[in-house]
Amino acid sequence: MVIQVKRSGDGILTSRDYLTIDDFDVDGKTILVRVDLNTPMDMDGNILDDMRIKSHIPTIKDLEDAKVVLMAHQSRAGKNDFTTMKPHAQRMSQYLGKEVEYVDDIFGTYARSSIESMEKGDVILLENVRFYSEESIERPASAHATTHMVRKLSPLLDIFLNDAFAVSHRSHLSIMGFTEILPTGAGRVMEKEISSLDRGIKGGERPCIFVLGGAKVDDSLKVAEHVLINGGADRVLVTGVVANVMLAAAGVDIGKVNLDFIESQGYTDQIARAKQVLDKFDGKIGYPIDVAFNDGGKRVEVLVSELPDGNLPINDIGLETIVAFSEEIKNAKTVVLNGPAGLSEVEPFALGTHEIIRAAINSEYSIAGGGHISAEIRNLGYENEFSHLSTGGGACIDYLAGDALPGIEALKTAAIRYRLNR
């Protein structure tokens, strides 16, 4: 297989086993771009956070000489915000400075005639792809390629671009099906996600520190093992529920209420696994030396070595841990954050999360996984201080854990096919 070498935006030479916009002549071509416009919406259908919509603007602008057909989803069946893409088209029009036409159809006669009548420079957004029941069926690309949607749309298209990193951990129809039929590459969001996350787990400046928090204990332990085994990280610091599991694994009595919460999340078995990780990577994992209890809404800090016999929930790391972790983070050259340090939506217990974020912007290269931690960074106004904020939640943590994402694997397979046929 031929692997192309490319100079990335930050000047680093990188090898790629997938194609991008730069590999195609897009002038006048009709290009289907799978984007991820899934956004929080209120009960009236108003968009509450348009970060993902904004993230795709560079891709669309780089296709200004093409005919751009956007395909996306909003929520899923059964949810209150499972609705049309009309508000998304309107918001995207504002950012592009030109109309993004909303097409109330996915692959029927109206959708196909809209595509056929497009002129160079036009952008249309098809209806919520999850309105089509086959979209969310998990199956191989070859099976998806035989569906009505792919068969109806592909004759009208020249190129397919996957720019939806956040859903590329799912082998869904709109992610996989067109890769078997059309020349396929990555959009700018996908390209940046891969290169940025790779820098964190493979080739970042040292020392490299991962800070893993939140409540997804099994995922975080998998990430910790992966980056420590392959040498991607020098240290892993744990916070949130992950830290509580680590403390329990280290023999600390964290109290019944905290153990009950771990059990309610289905993570009791992860305590034994955490002990194995601690033993295997002795000295490589840092866990709290003090914690903050929630005593009726009041923050009460206690050293881990002096935990009382009470039964209060641990809702944040303590101040001494914040200082120690912040010092390590500030001295690191590459920092990867995933998950909050505590109950950051409640003011007294947001301290750990916020201070770790502030420490991370001092590193040479800072990456934040998607979801809650990225939202906190934006709320604090530090979005432009981070080198990379991932658009993916589950996709990001799967990638950091070394899992193969079906959408990215399909890009690689399509690149091999394209190069062989040239």
Please give the annotated binding residues, written as ranges: 36-38, 52, 73-76, 130, 170, 345, 370-373
Average of per-residue pLDDT across 67-75: 98
φ, ψ at 401 (rounded to 5°):
-80, 0
Please give the annotated binding residues for (2R)-3-phosphoglycerate, written as ranges: 52, 130, 170
pLDDT averaged over every residue in the chain: 94
Which class would CATH give 206-363? Answer: alpha beta
Cα distance between residue 361 and residue 346, in whole Å = 23
- Note the maximum CA span of the chain: 72
φ, ψ at 105 (rounded to 5°):
-170, 155
Environment class of residue 40 by beta-carbon count within 10 Å: exposed (0-12), middle (13-18) or buried (19+)? middle
pLDDT digits (tens, 9 = 90+) for 351-388: 999 999 999 999 999 999 977 899 899 999 999 999 99
Residue 254 confidence (pLDDT) above 90: yes
φ, ψ at 347 (rounded to 5°):
-50, -50
Provide the pLDDT for residue 40: 92
pLDDT digits (tens, 9 = 90+) for 182-230: 999 999 999 999 999 999 888 678 999 999 999 999 999 999 999 999 9
Provide the pLDDT for residue 420: 92
DSSP symbol at 239? -
Residues 6+ apart with CB under 8 A from 164: 34, 35, 36, 72, 174, 175, 189, 190, 407
- Confidence bin at 15 (pLDDT 50/70/90): low
Residue 51 confidence (pLDDT) above 80: yes
Please give the annotated binding residues for ATP, written as ranges: 345, 370-373
Please give the annotated binding residues for substrate, written as ranges: 36-38, 52, 73-76, 130, 170
**In angstroms, what CA-CA distances link 401 with 6, 338, 357, 390, 398?**
25, 12, 21, 15, 5
Residue 11 confidence (pLDDT) above 90: no
Q: Of all residues in the chain, what percent carry a pLDDT higher than 70? A: 96
**Region of poorest pLDDT, from 44-53, 128-137, 286-295:** 44-53
Alpha helix ranges (H) inside 164-294: 173-176, 188-198, 217-229, 240-249, 256-264, 270-280
**Do 4-192+404-420 and 206-363 come out as alike in CATH topology?**
yes
pLDDT digits (tens, 9 = 90+) for 119-152: 999 999 999 999 999 999 999 999 999 999 999 9
Per domain, the residue ranges of the chain are: 4-192+404-420, 206-363
pTM: 0.92
Cα distance between residue 126 and residue 103, in whole Å = 5
Provide the pLDDT for residue 332: 95
Provide the pLDDT for residue 125: 98
CATH number, span 4-192+404-420:
3.40.50.1260
Q: Of all residues in the chain, what percent carry a pLDDT higher than 90? A: 90
φ, ψ at 407 (rounded to 5°):
-65, -35
